[in-house]
Amino acid sequence: GQNIDQPTEMTATEGAIVQINCTYQTSGFNGLFWYQQHAGEAPTFLSYNVLDGLEEKGRFSSFLSRSKGYSYLLLKELQMKDSASYLCAVNNDYKLSFGAGTTVTVRA
Amino acid sequence: IAGITQAPTSQILAAGRRMTLRCTQDMRHNAMYWYRQDLGLGLRLIHYSNTAGTTGKGEVPDGYSVSRANTDDFPLTLASAVPSQTSVYFCASSASQEVNTEAFFGQGTRLTVV
């Protein structure tokens, strides 16, 4: 089985930085994904980590520590369009399992 | 445009009726998935298929069935719908079920069972 936890909501100001944490417990680990989902839309891929460390893609970075069962998604230079739900997902025994998602609200 | 297509976009269904949600992808992906998304619970895996001809049960398979007769299509059937199956259903596909392959999602089917 798996247990994936992330905060329910976060609020930040335009131009700021926000860090979304994700902890997981799985019986088998084959990588961790972050997805973005705007209200009423489908999830879209943001990042992938399978080895420990930081992966940077423009304004978004994702970090993984397999020994701690921990990841975070870092959103820099926040823009209004970044207001969305961010989903942590673990490839567990080759099935993708999702956390409940973190709703990020960016204020002007 | 290449991608993954779901139909219908939305549906209101009487309890007890049978319903098939359609999902088609043209990316020649081996793996396909069905999720339901409910407020506060996130995306939960219903059924999956790692390759044509094979299927497996996910986290919440009861009341649902799937088939994978070919690479492109992965229909989800509710044999006798119940109100607790009211949800948004997402179909997804990935090149394989193994590591480092992102999943692509369809636009979702909003199903209401009354």
Q: Residues A51-84: pLDDT tens digits?
A: 999 999 999 999 999 999 999 999 999 999 999 9
DSSP A23-91: EEEESS---EEEEEE-TTS--EEEEEE-SSEEEEETTEEEEEETTTTEEEEEE-S--GGG-EEEEEEEE
Residue-wise pLDDT for B6-38, tens only, equals 999 999 999 999 999 999 999 999 999 999 999
Q: What is the mean pLDDT of residues B46-57?
A: 94
Q: Nearest chain B Cα to A48, which residue? A: B100
pLDDT at A70: 96
Residue B62 near chain A (CB below 8 Å): no
Of B35, B50, B99, the CB nearest to A30: B99
Whether residue B40 has pLDDT greater than 90? no
Q: Which pLDDT belongs to residue B98?
A: 63
Between the CA of residue A41 and those of A91, B9, B89, what are the distances in Å?
22, 12, 12
The per-residue pLDDT for A2 is 62
| A-chain residue closest to B43, CA distance | A98
Identity of the residue numbered A53 = G
Asked whether residue A8 carries a pLDDT value surpassing 90, the answer given is: yes
Question: Which of chain B's residues have a Cβ under 8 Å away from the Cβ of A100?
Answer: 40-42
H/E stretch holding B48 reads strand B42-49
Predicted confidence (pLDDT) at residue A94 exceeds the cutoff of 90: no
Higher pLDDT, B2 or B74: B74
